[in-house]
Amino acid sequence: MTFFDRLNHGVATSAVGKYFRLDGSGARRERAGSKFTTEIRAGLTTFVAMAYIISVNSLIVTDSGGTCVCTSETDPVCLNDPAYNECLAVLKLDMVTATAAIACFSTLLMGLFANLPIGLAPGMGLNAYFAYTVVGFHGSNTISYETAVAAVFIEGILFILLSLFGVRQWLARLIPQSIKIATGAGIGLYLCFIGLQSSAGIGLIGKNNDTLVGLAGCAEKDKDGICLSGTTMESATTWIGLFGFIIIAVCLLFRVKGAVLIGIVVVSVMSWFRNTSFTYFPNTPIGDAKFDFFKKVVTFHPIQTTMAKMDFNLNNSEIWIALITFLYVDIMDTTGTLYSMAKFGGYMYKNGDFDGSTAAFLCDATSITVGAVFGVPPVTAFVESGAGITEGGRTGITSITTAFFFFISLFFAPIFASFPPWATGPALMVVGSMMVKSVRSINWDYVGDAIPAFLTIALMPLSYSIAYGLIAGIGSYAAINGIVYILEVVSGGRIAPEDKDLREPWITEGFSWGNILPGWMQKLYCKARGEIYVDPLDVIEEEERLEREAAMAAEHTDAKIDIDHHHGGHEIPKY
């Protein structure tokens, strides 16, 4: 037994191992295959895959202008105002600290209280909506940054109430099984699409005036970000990103532990050398500024301009539209991510629920509220958590490890903010390919299940939104199957699809209306009736265990019959 085997065994049999339900801990519903050292490695992998959010979110929120005030009469957005640009520089550093801090806090919550390997941070897409649609570039819209942050704070409070009383869980568990499975595949394509772009990937795909997107990897772009003629596939960063993709793929093929992390680190270190065609620090003013920040290695910048800057003067009708938008997009986004990660990680139960779902939703909602105090857009579960799950992460120890590295990044921001997008992009592409394999479980034999599932998958990358993909899938499912149901009822069953027997039930096996209530409400209900509360997930796990044992016993019986037949039978002599 090696040192790591002894360490894994020691932690698994300790109180820590039992709390986090490590494999071999003897705890209820222990996570099969989970090991302490694997969880640590998975947490680091998730962090590295998510680390880009530190720099990307700070750049996006800085574009909103934050609390900076533009007073120029000739330049309405203060592009060339020295004082305003100086304020923006401070705001950007504030956002680096705030993003790392809220990612640390929210991911730690998820690990400690929900025991899930899910990382949280300000959501991509939501932050762009916050900065460019709600507040506007450099505050050019009628809603101020302070009012927008107040709307995010209120959204978080509403989320806490919805999660506490089980409303979010109701919505999640009523989603048809085909849509839930398709969500994982859609997120896989969405991740791949992110990894193929230049903002958070290798830049292989870019803008195209004729087809919206097209092959890029270009060495030169025009002012609109479109490749100049004849320059596609000439970008060194694209090729170094593809090199990282091959490294990860080959390492996975040979089952090398930490394959995703190895690929990210190798490409990052290569990109830190200056005077190369793929350096992250080119000899430009922006590159010099990045390199100067990188050389600091250890530094901490306290938040100066965004802490608790909320204005609850919500007399603008547009802010209520923004609040409602934040609300429904975040519900769909978080729901889709959490359930697809549960399915991907193998801890989804047959009733469509997963262990720690109520706590997970509460952690997410609390993080949104606290994030608003820090001045960041809505916090959400990150699909990049799939990178850690791919490395074997199954418990909250993965999230705690990720949170620890986000805490370290508060002091080592120059290092962690310098992972180039073409280093993390290959990881997103590989993880996406692994998540897409869930399409095998979709019921493609019945059109009423297949079309909504397909729309869910297609719309997520094409609309650049998990939420819109879910809305398309659920909406089409309700429309198609609703019409079929009405026709069947009105005609007394005479008008019905010929293959209706192939459709999967809308309510999954093991589902009951009583079980959709959060656990604390079920306990109170049982106590009021003088009944003993039994956790539904314990019942389901026991049923699944008995089914596995019965299947193994049947296989053993069949094998024994084959052996007896082989040795007990009489062969016909041959002459």
What are the C-alpha distances in Å from 432 to residues 111, 183, 347, 363, 461? Answer: 23, 12, 19, 25, 11
**What pLDDT shows up at residue 121?**
94
Q: Is the pLDDT of residue 176 over 90?
A: no
> Residue 205 pairs with which residues in a beta bridge?
215
In the chain, count of helices (H) and strands (E)? Answer: 22, 4
Question: Of 12-21, 180-189, 495-504, 505-514, which gets the smallest average pLDDT?
Answer: 505-514
User: What are the DSSP calls for 194-247, one per residue?
Assistant: HHHSSSSS---EEEETTTEEEE---S-B-TTSBBPTT-TT--HHHHHHHHHHHH
What is the tens place of the pLDDT at every residue in 41-73?
A: 999 989 988 887 887 788 788 888 999 988 877
d(CA 471, CA 459): 9
Q: Is the pLDDT of residue 453 over 90?
A: yes
**What pLDDT shows up at residue 57?**
83
What is the tens place of the pLDDT at every residue in 241-287?
A: 999 999 999 988 997 767 777 888 899 999 999 999 999 999 988 78
Q: Is the pLDDT of residue 514 over 60?
A: no
* Contact status, residue 67 vs residue 305, Cβ threshold 8 Å: yes
What are the C-alpha distances in Å from 217 to residues 190, 220, 232, 237, 246? Answer: 19, 9, 5, 8, 17
* Contact status, residue 327 vs residue 368, Cβ threshold 8 Å: no
Single out the residue of 349, 383, 394, 368 nearest to residue 163, CA to CA. Answer: 368
Band (pLDDT 50/70/90 cuts) for residue 543 is low
d(CA 339, CA 183): 8
Task: Give the count of alpha carbons within 13 A of 151, CB side only.
Answer: 25
Q: Please state the rounded mean pLDDT for residues 412-430.
A: 82
Q: What are the phi and psi torsion angles at 305 (to 5°)?
A: -120, -10
Residue type, 397: I
- Where helices occur in 35-125 by DSSP H, the ranges are 36-50, 52-63, 82-109
d(CA 408, CA 177): 40
Q: Of residues 566 and 275, which shows the higher confidence score?
A: 275
Q: What are the phi and psi torsion angles at 205 (to 5°)?
A: -115, 135
Give CA angle at 569 (568, 574), nearest 5°: 135
- Where helices occur in 346-435 by DSSP H, the ranges are 357-374, 385-390, 396-409, 413-416, 421-435
Q: Is the pLDDT of residue 8 over 50?
A: yes
Band (pLDDT 50/70/90 cuts) for residue 574 is very low
Q: What are the phi and psi torsion angles at 514 (to 5°)?
A: -70, -30
Q: Please state the rounded mean pLDDT for residues 481-486.
A: 94
Q: Is the pLDDT of residue 299 over 70?
A: yes
Report field, pTM of the whole predicted structure over 0.85: no
Helix or strand holding residue 181 (H, E): helix 177-196
